[in-house]
Amino acid sequence: MSRIAYVNGRYCPHNGAAIHIEDRGYQFADAVYEVCGIRDGKMLDEEAHLNRLDWSLGELEIPWPMTRSALQVTMREVIRRNRVRHGMIYLQVSRGRARRAHSYSAHMNPALVITATSTPRPQNAQVLPQPVSVITQPDIRWQRVDIKTVALLPNSMARHAADNVGCREAWLINAEGKVTEGSSSNAWIVDQQNRVRTHPTNGRILNGTVRQALIRLAKQEGIEVSEIAFTPQEAYEAKEAFLTSSNALVQPINQIDGHKIGNASQNEISQQLWRAYYIENQIAP
């Protein structure tokens, strides 16, 4: 089945889908995006994604390309046309097309692109996937990473460094020696006091939608969450480590910079959080 993309008001074959060469997203990374997971044909954390899109657009003074409800209808149509049951939807809003100039007019027509991709479904969705390894890399990004822009070159370079050594993700270390987040995911540990730790949302991380859900669910489960940044050393000594994103959802980690995490730990707390997320979203087993 050939894939269909939505581009500025039209559904078109994915292969020929195109944006103008003077789109500011292309020339200035003047664009924001969302990636939303799809399970059993339904979008996960849809409201949180739209709220964050609203935040990103607002911070950059890019107008919504259509109303929120029209966007929701269009996203569902892209999922339907691509027959995605398990996978993700990508949407990008750029400030639009203009003759190249650094400054911009506040009255441009934003460009909207939406695609949907199927990914393989795990055999047993109730249990966490196999653990993966991560490395650490310096966080060389700009200071507004709370806005979900497409300016992802530092993230891309960090992930490439991880790929080169056979690791799944790179955890980024800031100038204070703390782990901020992964190149495309939030970073978590369970410390020796059984506290779940993740970096606070002080503008130095992207406030992940799965992150928001897990913090809420942890409270319901009686698990202590402490939004206090941790060092790589604390991560090496953690009982559990995991990452979250709309692609991976909850992904356990068993090695950081070559240090084994937990001693054959059963990832009990990560598993409990995953179970709560899985149940809340009515994901099929």
Interaction pattern, residues 30-49, with ligand PDD; x per rule: CB under 6 A: -----x--------------
219 in active site = no
Q: 56 vs 265, which CB is nearer to ligand PDD? A: 56
Task: Find the part of the chain contacting ligand PDD (CB under 6 A) among 19-27, 184-192, 195-203, 269-277.
Answer: 184-192
**One-letter amino acid for residue 160 of the chain:** H
137 binds ligand PDD (CB under 6 A): no
**Gap between the Cα atoms of 255 and 261, Å rounded:** 5
Number of chain residues interacting with ligand PDD (CB under 6 A): 15
Task: Find the part of the chain contacting ligand PDD (CB under 6 A) among 18-26, 59-67, 72-80, 182-190.
Answer: 182-190
- Radius of gyration of the chain, Cα coordinates, nearest whole angstrom: 19
What is the number of other CB atoms lying within 10 angstroms of the CB of residue 202?
10
Q: 20 vs 216, which CB is nearer to ligand PDD? A: 216
Which residues sit opposite 116 in a β-bridge? Answer: 89
CB 242 within 8 A of CB 253: yes
**One-letter amino acid for residue 1 of the chain:** M
Least distance from C-beta 102 to ligand PDD, angstroms?
25
Interaction pattern, residues 85-104, with ligand PDD; x per rule: CB under 6 A: --------------------
Q: Which of residues 152-171 bind ligand PDD (CB under 6 A)?
A: 155
Contacting residue, 94, 133, 137, 246, with ligand PDD by CB under 6 A: 246
First CA to last CA across the chain, in angstroms? 26
- For tokens 């894939």, the residue is 3
**Gap between the Cα atoms of 32 and 52, Å rounded:** 10
113 binds ligand PDD (CB under 6 A): no
H/E run at residue 233: helix 232-236
136 binds ligand PDD (CB under 6 A): no
CB 194 within 8 A of CB 269: yes
Catalytic residue among 148, 178, 219, 260: 148
- Classify 47 as helix, strand or coil: helix
Q: Parallel, antiparallel, or unpaired for β 169-173 and 132-138? A: parallel
Interaction pattern, residues 200-239, with ligand PDD; x per rule: CB under 6 A: ------x-xxxx----------------------------
Least distance from C-beta 137 to ligand PDD, angstroms?
13
247 binds ligand PDD (CB under 6 A): yes
**Gap between the Cα atoms of 115 and 226, Å rounded:** 36
- Classify 9 as helix, strand or coil: coil
- Catalytic positions, please? 148
Sites of contact with ligand PDD (CB under 6 A):
35, 155, 181, 184-186, 206, 208-211, 244-247
